[in-house]
Amino acid sequence: MRNRTWILLLIVMAPQLGLSLINPANSAIAADLGAPLDRVEATLTAYMAGYALSMVASGTLADRFDARRLQSLGLALFALGGLLAALAPNLAALGAGRFLQALGGTSATVLCRIIVQRHYPASARVGVLASMSMVISLTPAMSPLAGGVLSQFAPWRTLFLLTAAFALALIPTIELTLHPAPPEHPALPSPGEVGRALSQALHDRGFRWYACHICLVWMTYFGFIQSSSSLLQHHLGQSALAYGALMAVPALGYLAGSVMVKRAASVDSAVPGPYLSGRRGWRPRWGTPTSCRCPWRWCWCCTSRSPS
C-alpha cells in the first residue's frame, strides 16, 4: 500500500508542475515568440480553463469508467499538451498546449481521491488525503525554484518537454502498480441528475461556506501567480533564478496554512456533532469529513468516509 501511496503523490504533482514550473521562463518565452509578457501570462488563464473543465469531466466519467485507466489517459493528454507547448510557434499554439495540459493532468486532483476512496480502508483515507494535500501545497513552492534553475541552462521549450516526460514515465507505473478502480455501479449521470446534484450542493450552507472561501483564496493566489512575472521580472528586474526563489515564499505560506488547518482539524475532530455553534452564530466545523453532506463524488470530505 505504501508504494501505491507514493505513486498517487507523484501523480498529484503533475497539475502543479504544469502551472508553476514554466513561470520563471515567461520573459524568455515572450522574447522568443515576440509577444508582450502579459500575453504570455494570459496563457495561464487557458490552463485554468482546462483545469475547471477537467474537474467536472473527470468526476463524471469516473462514475462510468475505471478511475485508474482514466488517470493514465489524463496523463497522456497532459504529455501531449506539454509537447504541443514545447513546439509552439506562437502564443495561440502555446495557449492550446497549456489548455490540453490542464485538461488531462489536473484530472489527478479528482481521480486520485476517487482511487483512494475505492481502494483504501476508511481508517487510512484521511492520512493519505492529507499527504496528497501537502504535496499539492509543496509543489508550487519548489517548482518555480526548479524552473528558475533549469532556465539558466536550458531553453524554455525544454521545461515543457520535461513535464511531458514526467507524465509519460508515470503511465506504465500506474498500470503496473495501481489496481483497477472501477465504479461499483457504472453509469453516467443524466443531465437531470447533474442539475439536481448542483442544486443540492448550492442549497447546502456548509458547501457554500467552504466553496466561497476556497474560491476567494485561490482567486487571490492565482492572480498573484499570473502577474508575478511582470511584477518581479519586468518591473523589478529579477532574474529567472531570483524569481523562482521569491515565488517560494508565498507558496511556503500556503503550505504553512495547510499545516495549521490540519492541526486545527485534528483538535476539532473531538467535538461531537456536524457543526460548532456559539453566541456569534453558525460556523462550519473543521475536520469532520464524515459529516459532509456534499453530493459530489470528488469532494474531499466525501472521499474520506466509508462507502455506504
Residue 64: its pLDDT value, please? 87
Instruction: Please tell me what DSSP assigns to residue 183.
Output: -
Q: Collapsing DSSP states into helix, strand and coil, what is residue 308?
A: coil
Average pLDDT over residues 258-265: 68
Distance CA 116, CA 126 (A): 9
What is the overall mean pLDDT for the chain? 80
281 confidence band (pLDDT: 50, 70, 90): very low
Distance CA 115, CA 128 (A): 11
Q: Which residues contact 55 (CB under 8 A, 6 or more apart)?
A: 106, 109, 110, 298
Q: Which fold has domain 2-183+193-265+291-303?
A: Growth Hormone; Chain: A; (1.20.1250)
Domains in the chain: boundaries:
2-183+193-265+291-303
Instruction: Please tell me what DSSP assigns to residue 19.
Output: H
pLDDT in tens, 188-219: 878 888 788 888 888 888 888 988 988 888 78
Residue 278: its pLDDT value, please? 40
Instruction: Please tell me what DSSP assigns to residue 217.
Output: H
Residue 48's closest CA among 85, 10, 3, 101? 101
pLDDT in tens, 127-176: 888 888 888 878 877 888 888 888 888 899 999 999 999 999 999 999 88
Cell numbers placing 154: 536550458
Report DSSP letters for 241-297, one per residue: HHHHHHHHHHHHHHHHHHHHHHHHHHHHTTS-SSEEEETTEEEEPTT-GGG-----T
Residue 232's closest CA among 245, 243, 241? 243
DSSP bridge partners of 45: none
Residue 57's closest CA among 129, 5, 105, 93? 105
4 confidence band (pLDDT: 50, 70, 90): confident
pLDDT in tens, 221-231: 788 777 777 77
